[in-house]
Structure 1
Amino acid sequence: MSSSEAKPHFVFPPPSPVGVPIATSVATFPVRRIFCVGRNYADHAREMGAEVDREAPFYFTKPADAVALSGATIAYPPGTQDCHYEGEFVVALGGSAFRVPPDEAMGCVFGYAAGIDLTRRDLQGAAKAKGRPWDLGKAFENSALISPITPASDFGGIGEQTLMTRVNGEVRQQARLSDMVWSVPELIAHLSRYYHLEPGDLLYTGTPAGVAAVKPGDKLSVKIEGLEELAIAIGPAE
C-alpha cells in the first residue's frame, strides 16, 4: 500500500456516527448536520415578543451529538434554570441540493419526523440582549430530540396535518403544518443558496406557540399526523 493509500492514524478514536431509526425498516439514517429555522410560526414569534421576518427565513445550527432518540430519558441540561421545549416538524434529506428552485427542492427529501428543539431560554435571552450568537442557548448535547423517520413516500404531501406537543399528557402546543410562514420547499431552496445540502442533513422547521419550561420528571411527546410519535423523559440534572 502506497503512502497516499495508507489509512489515517487518528490520535484517538473518532466519534461514532449518529443515527436515527427509520420507521418500518431495519436501516438507520446517518445524521450529518442539523439546521433549525427560527420564528417560522407567526404566533410563536409574537409570544417571544418578535415579528416574523417575511423577507427571508433565518437559521441556527446544532451539532450532530445534539440528537436524542425517542424513548430516552435525558438529563436536565447543565447551565440553565429555564429550559424550554419546542415541538417541531423535522425534514430529513436523502439527496444533494445546491441552489435549487422551490419547485425542485422536494426531490432531495428522504422523509420526516417529529422533533423537539430544547432551548436554554435564559442563556438565549442573555445572548439576544447583548447581540451575541445563540449557541449556548441552542447548540448543546441532547437538545435535538427526534422520533423515527418516516419515508416521504409513506407520508404524502405536507399540508393540514396537526402537530401536537404534550407535557405530562396535557396539550401545550397545537398547530397545522400549513401554518408555517415558510414552506418546506421554500426553506430548502433558500438554505441551498448558502450551503451544499447533502444526505444526512436534518431541518427542524420551527415551532408554534405554547413553548414553556420543563423540569426533571416531565414527560414530553410530539405527535404529527402520519408520523411516529416522539416521547422523551427529562431526568435529574447531572
Structure 2
Amino acid sequence: MKLIALCLGACLSVVCLAANASSTTYVRYQHLGKIGYGKLVEDSIYPLKGDIFSDSSLSSRKMSVRDVNLLLPTKPEKVFVVQAQKQLGETQANDYQFSFKLPSALISKGVPIQIPTDAKNIEYSSSLVVVIGKQSKNIDTKQASAAIFGLTVGGDLTEPNWLQHDAHSLRAKSADGFAPIANEIVRGLDFTQIHVSSKINGKAINDDALAEMTYSPAEVVSELSQYFTLKPGDLIYIDLPTHTVEVKDNDVVSVSLNGIVKVENKIMF
C-alpha cells in the first residue's frame, strides 16, 4: 500500500509540474505606501505598469517578496460562491446553487480566523477560486474562458445553524474571515491537469482534479453572467463538496492549487 501511495504521489507531482510549466503567478502588494501588482518569480516580484486586467507591461526592476506586504489578490466588487458539482453518489448533476459573500469576509493566508462567539459549528469547504479579468454579461463558454484572468484557491466557511435560522445566507457565509483566499493568482495553467488538495492539521482531506468537475470554470462563469454583470477582479468560489469538513478550535486548514498556490489559516473559537 505504501508503494502504491508513493507511486500515485510521484505521478501527481509529474502531472502538476507539467501543468505548471507554462504558468505565470501574480501578486498584489503594498510597498512604500503604494499598491500594485507584480509577477512573482520565486522570491522576487517584478512590478507591472498599468492595469493588470487590461493593458500592463512588466518592469525590469525587481524587489524581494520579503520587502513588501502581500495583499488580497483583488479588491472585488462581488464575491460569488457556487456549488456546481454532483454530490457524492449521485448520477445526475445538481442545478447550480449560487450565493454571495461580502468582500469584507475575505482574509489572507496566515491570518487567524476568529469565529463569532455564538457560532455552534463551522463547516469549511475548499474552493477553486476564479478571478474575472474583463467585464462580461450574457456570455457563452468560449467567451467565458477569455473572461477568466486566472485562478487561485480559498475556503468557504459556513455556519449551518445560522443558515437554517436566517431567511438568507448573509450571516452564515459572510462573517468576517469566512472567505480565506491565497494571495497569488495563477495564469496559463492547463485546465485538464489542475489539482486542488486540502489538509486539516497536516492530514490530507482530499485531492480533486479539475477535469473531474461536473462543470468547468468557463461553464460556471457563463451561467453566472446570465444573471450578473461580472467585472474585473470579481471572485467566484467554486466549492468542492468532497473537501467539506467541520472545523474545531485551533484547527489549521490549508488548500493548495497544484502545489504552487496555497492558503492556510488557523481556526479560533
Aligned length: 205
Separation in 1, partners of 2:36, 2:121: 27
Secondary structure of 2:87's counterpart equals helix
Separation in 2, partners of 1:221, 1:117: 12
Q: Shift in Å at residue 214 of structure 1?
A: 1.0
Separation in 1, partners of 2:250, 2:265: 10
1:213 maps onto 2:226 in alignment: no
1:77 maps onto 2:116 in alignment: yes
Match in the other structure for 1:43: 87
Separation in 2, partners of 1:106, 1:20: 25
**Distance verdict in 2 for CA 1:21–1:115, change over 3 Å:** farther
Q: Shift in Å at residue 161 of structure 1?
A: 2.0
Instruction: Please say which of residues 199-208 and 225-234 is displaced more in the overlay.
Output: 225-234
1:112 maps onto 2:151 in alignment: yes
Q: Shift in Å at residue 231 of structure 1?
A: 0.9
TM-score (norm 2): 0.69
Q: Shift in Å at residue 196 of structure 1?
A: 1.1
**Distance verdict in 2 for CA 1:84–1:216, change over 3 Å:** same
Match in the other structure for 1:31: 76
Q: Shift in Å at residue 90 of structure 1?
A: 0.3
Give 5+ residue unaligned stretches, structure 2.
1-34, 49-72
**Distance verdict in 2 for CA 1:111–1:77, change over 3 Å:** farther
Specify which of 189, 197, 216 is matched with residue 230 of structure 2.
Answer: 197
Secondary structure of 1:206's counterpart equals strand
8 Å Cα contact 1:97/1:192 also seen in 2: yes
Q: Which amino acid aligns with 2:87?
A: D
Q: Shift in Å at residue 226 of structure 1?
A: 5.5
Q: Shift in Å at residue 78 of structure 1?
A: 3.8
1:95 maps onto 2:139 in alignment: no
Larger RCO (CA within 8 A; separation ≥ 6) = 1
Q: Which amino acid aligns with 1:41?
A: Q
Give 5+ residue unaligned stretches, structure 1.
1-18
The root-mean-square deviation of aligned C-alpha atoms, in Å, is: 2.4
Secondary structure of 1:42's counterpart equals coil
Q: Shift in Å at residue 126 of structure 1?
A: 4.2
**Distance verdict in 2 for CA 1:29–1:210, change over 3 Å:** closer
8 Å Cα contact 1:173/1:211 also seen in 2: no
Which whole-Å deviations, capped at 9, do the CAs of 1:174-216 have from their partners, x for residues lacking one? 2111222221111111111111110110000121314221112
Q: Shift in Å at residue 34 of structure 1?
A: 0.2
Separation in 2, partners of 1:20, 1:214: 34
8 Å Cα contact 1:44/1:207 also seen in 2: no
Match in the other structure for 2:182: 147
Name whichever structure is richer in strand by fraction. Answer: 2
Identity %: 21
TM-score (norm 1): 0.77
Detail structure 1 runs of 4+ shifted over 3 Å in the superposition: 19-23, 25-28, 43-46
Separation in 2, partners of 1:180, 1:79: 35
